[in-house]
Amino acid sequence: MCGIVAYIGNKQAYPIIIEGLRRLEYRGYDSAGISLLNGDLHTYKKKGKVQDLENFAADKNKEGTMGIGHTRWATHGKPDDLNAHPHVSGDGNITLVHNGIIENYAQLKEALAELGHEFKSETDTEVLVHLIEEYQKRDNLTIEKAVQKALKKAVGAYAIVVFDKREPNKLIGARKSSPLVLGLGKDEFFLASDATPIIKFTNKVIYLNDEEIVNINRDGTYEVVTIDNELQSPVVQEIDLKIEELEKGGYDHFMLKEIHQQPQTILESMRGRINAEEGWVLVGGMQDHMKRLKEADRMIFAACGTSWHAALIGEYLFEDLARIPVEVEYASELRYRNPVIREKDVIVALSQSGETADTLAALEMAKKKGALLYGIVNNVGSSIARLTDCGSYIHAGPEIGVASTKAFTSQLVVLSLMAINLGKERGTISEGYYRQLLHAMEAIPAKVQKILEQDEKIKYIAGEIRNAQNALYLGRGYNFPIALEGALKLKEISYIHAEGYPAAEMKHGPIALIDMYMPVVVIATNQSAYEKVVSNIQEVKARKGIVIAIVLEGDKEIKKIADFTIEIPETEEPLSPLLSVIPLQLLSYHIAVMRGCNVDQPRNLAKSVTVE
């Protein structure tokens, strides 16, 4: 997935675009580039980060009040200067940036080459800008019409911004399956992959819909049309994002800031949805479809990565508390395996970004089969949020660190409240237990804060295992998905290979791996299977494994046998993942920092995978 920023107005475009690209680097950082128009077209692009682009452009002409910029996560063509965006047409007049994949680029490239077009890069994007050039020349079209015609020919996903150096007062944006936001400033316009590069200048935005094109004019006018030239009446929204939410706020990394924000973000996710004193929980997104939700004879949870781990906990919650059968699917598998999905089914999609291609595609498939779609999303106005029939925003605020932390716990809050709400509606939990769960939920933020205060101890433990080559995470029941999540966190930011397993499964294979070099993180907070987890720990110790145990405050038995223990407060078991994940987030963070890894932008990763 890539980041796009573009500007037309009365200010110098370069600083605006560069700062905007920095805010979007979490979307991809293989290479970066910018095109500026100041009488002539100047395009600078470089492998590496935005800083590398800035260094390269330091002594170049950076004047101009219109420009387009791009930070890349490579799909077609390796990360290098030639494959970096923007891409320029053969005649040097048109420049374009793109997020997405043009699936029929090979056929188009072949046809264009036969017409004499020569390509400098391996990218699908360069084909698109040559296609626009071809239509413009062959059919004597304006740049707007040439873009429209080319997009009708292109198959796949795109968010593009393009301009023709001979039209210094026109900037064109378009999207299909990849996000593009239009910012409406005072005598100036912005286009970006999300609102973060825009909010410093304006909070008035339009989220473009699929197959929509926005033709912007420097005189302050604009129009939104479809690729079939149907004039649209877009809705201007006012977003309440604040610029300081996008800064590190004194922390070394966004990930650390976001881990420490969790007492607050968990509270935000609950706000207006629960009152233990008065004894109610109310998840607004469910109310209009409560009958269909509570009578569902099956729910399918679809997600990817960390959101899939949240979905797995959702299964435990909904079956345990609301007695509704749940199936959890990797979205990328669900969309391709020709599943049985009926009109009665409810599909719950979890996605922090709301733009993950596989999750979006799975939802589109389910929608065609008539299922009810429910979205649990963080990114307001995102594609998944707008595709679903109903849903709940998790209100975790912008999550910049590529490794998801606060969004994960906020997803768990929403899932827990939904399960409690449905359990109450269906009468599958007693009034007493209902009240207990409400009070336990409201106590979570303070308990998270208490765990965060053990950061120094967790950092010490990180130092003891930072050179491990492999690690094993074990958990039971509600904490089995947390074992998976802890392992993913370690893998994706420290590059240590780690696997999560149900604790009881260890003896069915993984135990063969255990030796004195293997750290084994055991989540041992379950009251319901405590003795069994103690046995698992003894089995590891018998093979000289290094045991880091997450235990309840006051635990004595495990403290005697584990190498390291981290104590966390007790809570109702269905809510325990909200607490047991916190030490694992900090552990992976500190190990990654000690190993000199780029915590906020780990190699090969991107914050939201909007390509398949």
Give the residue numbers marked as catalytic.
2, 607
Phi, psi (rounded to 5 degrees) for 46: -150, 140
By beta-carbon proximity to ligand AGP, the closer residue of 31 and 351 is 351
Residue 380 as a binder of ligand AGP (CB under 6 A): the answer is: no
CB of 310 to ligand AGP, least distance (A): 8
CB of 351 to ligand AGP, least distance (A): 3
CB of 256 to ligand AGP, least distance (A): 14
Q: Which residues contact 83 (CB under 8 A, 6 or more apart)?
A: 31, 72, 74, 76, 77, 121, 122, 123
H-run or E-run covering 348: strand 346-351
CB of 307 to ligand AGP, least distance (A): 4
Residue 609 as a binder of ligand AGP (CB under 6 A): the answer is: yes
CA separation, residue 422 to residues 127, 172, 253 (Å): 51, 46, 38
Residue 97 as a binder of ligand AGP (CB under 6 A): the answer is: no
Q: Which residues contact 183 (CB under 8 A, 6 or more apart)?
A: 189, 190, 191, 192, 195, 198, 201, 202, 204, 205
d(CA 610, CA 27) in angstroms, rounded, equals 9
By beta-carbon proximity to ligand AGP, the closer residue of 94 and 246 is 246
By beta-carbon proximity to ligand AGP, the closer residue of 266 and 547 is 266
Q: Are 236 and 252 a contacting pair, CB within 8 Å?
A: no
Position with the least CB separation from ligand AGP: 305
Q: Are 169 and 158 a contacting pair, CB within 8 Å?
A: no
Q: Which residues contact 580 (CB under 8 A, 6 or more apart)?
A: 475, 479, 482, 523, 525, 550, 568
Residue 537 as a binder of ligand AGP (CB under 6 A): the answer is: no
> Comparing C-alpha atoms, which of 592, 611, 608 is closest to residue 252?
592
By beta-carbon proximity to ligand AGP, the closer residue of 360 and 437 is 360
Residue 306 as a binder of ligand AGP (CB under 6 A): the answer is: yes
Residue 305 as a binder of ligand AGP (CB under 6 A): the answer is: yes
Candidates 68-76, 144-152, 318-326, 351-359 — which segment interacts with ligand AGP by CB under 6 A?
Answer: 351-359
By beta-carbon proximity to ligand AGP, the closer residue of 403 and 551 is 403
**Which positions from 478 through 497 interact with ligand AGP, judged by CB under 6 A?**
492
CB of 463 to ligand AGP, least distance (A): 23
By beta-carbon proximity to ligand AGP, the closer residue of 136 and 588 is 588
Candidates 98-106, 225-233, 302-310, 439-447 — which segment interacts with ligand AGP by CB under 6 A?
Answer: 302-310
CB of 366 to ligand AGP, least distance (A): 16
307, 494, 536, 565: which one binds ligand AGP (CB under 6 A): 307
d(CA 261, CA 256) in angstroms, rounded, equals 9
Phi, psi (rounded to 5 degrees) for 156: 130, -155
178, 359, 392, 601: which one binds ligand AGP (CB under 6 A): 359
What does the longest C-alpha to C-alpha distance in the chain come to? 81
Q: Residue 420 corresponds to which tokens in the numbers above?
A: 């409690």
Candidates 201-209, 219-227, 396-404, 559-567 — which segment interacts with ligand AGP by CB under 6 A?
Answer: 396-404
351, 410, 588, 610: which one binds ligand AGP (CB under 6 A): 351
Looking at the DSSP assignment, which residues form a beta bridge with residue 199? Answer: none
Candidates 211-219, 280-288, 299-307, 514-522 — which segment interacts with ligand AGP by CB under 6 A?
Answer: 299-307
Rg (CA), the chain: 25
By beta-carbon proximity to ligand AGP, the closer residue of 410 and 608 is 608
Residue 265 as a binder of ligand AGP (CB under 6 A): the answer is: no
231 DSSP assignment: B
CB of 301 to ligand AGP, least distance (A): 13
Q: What is the DSSP string of 541-591?
A: HTTT-EEEEEEETT--HHHHH-SEEEEE----GGGTHHHHHHHHHHHHHHH
> Comparing C-alpha atoms, which of 491, 482, 492, 589 is closest to residue 256?
589
Residue 317 as a binder of ligand AGP (CB under 6 A): the answer is: no
5, 132, 266, 403: which one binds ligand AGP (CB under 6 A): 403
What is the three-class DSSP state of 340? Answer: coil
CB of 475 to ligand AGP, least distance (A): 17
d(CA 357, CA 352) in angstroms, rounded, equals 12
Residue 353 as a binder of ligand AGP (CB under 6 A): the answer is: yes
By beta-carbon proximity to ligand AGP, the closer residue of 268 and 492 is 492
By beta-carbon proximity to ligand AGP, the closer residue of 353 and 580 is 353
Residue 404 as a binder of ligand AGP (CB under 6 A): the answer is: yes
Residue ranges in contact with ligand AGP by CB under 6 A: 304-307, 351-353, 356, 359, 402-404, 492, 608-609
